[in-house]
Amino acid sequence: MEYPVTRQNSFTAKLCFLCTLLFSSVAFAQIDLSVPMDHYFPFYTAQFTSIPDVARMSNQFDQTDIGILAAQPNMKPFQDSISEQVSSGPLKDRLGITLNDLRNVANGEVAFGTIYPNKELLAIALMANISNHAAEANQLVNKVSANVQQKRGRVVRNQVGTALFVQLDFVDDNGKNQKIVYIIDGDLLVVCDNLMIAKLLWQKASNNPAVATVKPISASAYYQMIKRHSSPKSESFSFVQIDRYAEAVQLLDDKYSAGNLTSKSPVESLKKSGLIGFRAAGGSLQLKPGPGFNRFVKGYVYAPKPWEGSMKMYQLVNVPCPEPPAWISSKISTYTAIQGTPELVFDNIAPFFDTYFGEGEQGVWSDVVEGLETDPMGPQINLKKDLVQYFDGQLLVISQALEPLGPNSECIAYALRVKDVNAIRSALNRLFNGDPTIKPDKIGQFNIWQCVPKPKKTSPFKPGPISSAQAKKEKPEGMMAHAAIAVENGYLIISSNRDYLAQLLTPTAQPLKDSVGYKRTMAVAKQRCGDSACVWVYSPTENNYRLNYELYKDGKAIESNTMLTRIIKAISGTDKPKTQQTNKVDASSLPPFDQIKSYFGTSGGFSKIENDGFSFEEFVLSNRQ
């Protein structure tokens, strides 16, 4: 439906006239969707994701254990609720469509990207093959247009050769002005929040000579490097140019929230710290790639040398798969072993520390180190001589959900292997002595240190509702605010809370190293990497997902702070107070977890340091042979 030309909406007529001028010199050609869409997205695309065949991806997912589980009737209400949450997130907010919309119209490749040539043309764009679904695509555009008109927005339609351009201009639910462009041309659908970028993608797909000089992302050396280290046949492929994407994300957050572009660029921080050496990352996803597998991810982080500044901290060491110490239980959710070089970390941490903790002021780290050693009122400790030299470079990261399961059950611990337990204890005693936020304590026979957060300041006046400005200043406690620390079993162990530290110090369950699942999974990892990697990862997904499953079943997921819940909130937008109140998940039909736990296999992975970056693989094995 189009607006009639009246005095009230004469802007529409003017815009139509301008659009006619804009496209009057366009030369048209047949859209060729046999060419991958990475040939259409421009080289300055900051982030790019492609699903080569939507139907194949859906079919492959249905064959995985999770796909089989999701198809069961008693899982449908829960699955629909989660789907609704995710579909109502940023994709809908910024492009006016949902994942379900895409499923209905796509019939081939779908590509999505963040395109960032400059601040003025920053855009989010989607291209989809809609062969045999043109009618559904037109219905989708009509539905979105009707919604915009109901909000008193403007809808402008133009027929440019064989292409239909539909431009939407409206105010969203958050009071922000939004502009979205839909283009339907034969079997191609383009959706973008910037007219010029939408036109560029359409012209590239049309093989228009006017944009022949704009190189595609497929010609980028960074892109080719990531592609070369990925699986040639996959259900999806993703690429990120790290510095460009970091800045684009910040600008997009400002554009769609505060409404003002920030003047401070994260790229400057990356340069100051030296982490600008991380150039690009990405990889491929395969679903059900072979017998016994549910998922396989292969990718690369491109970081060409020479490294400068704090990049040198990441000079990890490839080693054979280390055996987990006996005090780590098979009940863990995730287990990661990393092998680095402590001296390199200490010698090169200054630029990182100054940039991200010292608010960009140079010399903050060196002042801290010097103060700890020379301040007569301080611990008078030489960090490198008295502490760092006694670490051997192995770092373990362990997470687990403690019972009884609840919103605060998820725990994490960091364990650094030490060469001399007594030397580390002595150094920490001196370091923590007199610190009011860290108190000595005991767990049974073990001496520990317990973090005691400073109490929040209270108003001397009568308590009452706090203002929005006050609320912004109130930062939630971090996961390590109540950390408990011990030096036992050859490791410095830093746990997120006392209860988890007690469990690590006094294990009662089967050791992880004796677990059948661990042995089977890491045997595959060793075979894949040649038994040499700098990072080794293992996760029994049955343990990893149980907590979130039970939280959703009990209706407590929204109040929890688990990693999975944070990811879902971020994707769906439910991290915003408004949507937290309106979006609910129907978990009433979920069966007891023990009835479905066989659908969750074990996950493993590794990363190897290479000459110019880090290769990585991650896979999920099936328990249902």
Using one digit for the tens of pLDDT, what is the confidence trace for 396-423?
999 999 999 988 899 999 999 999 999 9
Q: What is the reported pTM?
A: 0.88
Percent of the chain residues topping a pLDDT of 90:
68
Give the residue with greater pLDDT, 23 vs 103. 103
User: Residue 503 has which token pair?
Assistant: 């469990």
**Mean pLDDT value across residues 115-133:** 94
The token pair that represents 381 in the structure block: 């400790």
Name the nearest CA neighbour of 81 among 577, 551, 557, 583. Answer: 583
Model pLDDT, residue 198: 97
Q: Could you tell me the maximum CA-CA distance found in the chain, to the nearest angstrom? A: 85
- pLDDT tens-digit readout, 79-95: 777 776 666 566 777 88
Cα gap 210→235, rounded to integer Å:
33
Q: What's the Cα-to-Cα distance from 571 to each of 224, 567, 574, rounded to whole Å? A: 28, 6, 8
- Hey, which of 70-74, 393-397, 544-548 has the most confident mean pLDDT? 393-397
Q: Which long-range contacts (CB under 8 A, 24 or more apart) does 221-228 make?
A: 222/279, 222/280, 222/302, 223/38, 223/48, 223/280, 225/280, 225/300, 225/302, 225/612, 225/613, 226/280, 226/281, 226/282, 226/283, 226/299, 226/300, 226/302, 228/300
pLDDT for 90 equals: 61
What are the pLDDT digits (tens) for 490-542?
A: 999 999 999 999 999 999 899 999 999 999 999 999 999 999 999 999 999 99
Q: Which amino acid belongs to residue 121?
A: L
Average pLDDT over residues 107-114: 95
For 172-234, strand residue ranges (E) read 177-185, 188-192
At residue 617, the 3 state secondary structure works out as strand
Query: How far is 11 from 507, CA to CA, in rounded Å?
Result: 72
pLDDT band at 472 (very low <50, low <70, confident <90, very high): very low
pLDDT, averaged across the chain = 87
Predicted confidence at residue 360, as pLDDT, reads 84
Residue 1: band (very low, low, confident or very high) from pLDDT cuts 50, 70, 90? very low
